[in-house]
Amino acid sequence: MSSLTSRQRLVAGAGLLILATLGAWFFVVSPKRAEAAGLQRDVIAANERLAAARLEERSNREKQQRLPGLPALKRALPDEVAMSSILRELNAVATASGLRFASIVPGTLQPGQGFQVLALSAEFEGDFARTSSFLKRLRKQVEVRNGKAQVTGRLYVVDSIGFSEGDEGLPSLKASLRLNAFVYGDGAPPTP
């Protein structure tokens, strides 16, 4: 090897340097570039998922802002009859008003547009002031104040009320009440 001239050594060194650079490129840099390109695709996909999640979250937040009273409205107009709940609620309102219920009889569900109507017949006993208090409390369970629904119970609409002398004589009254409770939905099973 000592017979090589300095020029030949320089060319051989440059060739080895080029071979080493190409080897490093093909065995080290090029696989990492492919890995980096794959990671770049993963980052783009993750950013797209993040953008979609943010959009969905913003949409849900906007829906909640548009429908802030949805839970309250579901309380006023539930999607099931829940007769035991109706009985407990009417009894609680009557007790708070000082009335004694003699009976509550449910009717059948009648269809409406987007809702169903459950007719109820109720009989109770008490004086006129307590009967008036009962009707006021029942009406105030669902009311609108300043454009917003204020809901403390189910929506009832009094259809008719009749009075007769109570068992204990006047001023005790026996009141017969027909009222309607409402159920959200038309009662048709949901289509799959």
pLDDT value of residue 178: 92
List, as own/partner pairs, every contact residues 34-41 make where C-beta atoms lie below 8 angstroms and the sequence separation is at least 24, other chains included: none
pLDDT above 70 covers a percentage of the chain that reads: 91
| pTM, entire model | 0.57
Sign of CA dihedral 184, 86, 142, 159: positive
Q: How far apart are CA 62 and CA 55, in angstroms?
A: 10
Alpha-carbon distance 163 to 83, whole Å?
25
Half-sphere exposure of 73 (CA within 13 A, CB side): 8
Contacts of 4 (CB under 8 A, 6+ apart): 12
**pLDDT tens-digit profile of 65-115?**
665 566 777 777 787 888 888 888 888 888 898 888 888 888 888 887 888
Instruction: Name the band, by pLDDT with cuts 50, 70 and 90, for residue 190.
Output: very low
Q: What mean pLDDT comes out for the span 109-136?
A: 87
Indicate the DSSP class of residue 141: T
Residues 23-51 pLDDT 10s:
877 777 777 777 777 888 888 888 899 88
Q: Please tell me the least confidently modeled range out of 23-32, 99-108, 118-127, 172-181.
A: 23-32
Distance CA 21, CA 17 (A): 6
Average pLDDT for 48-64: 83
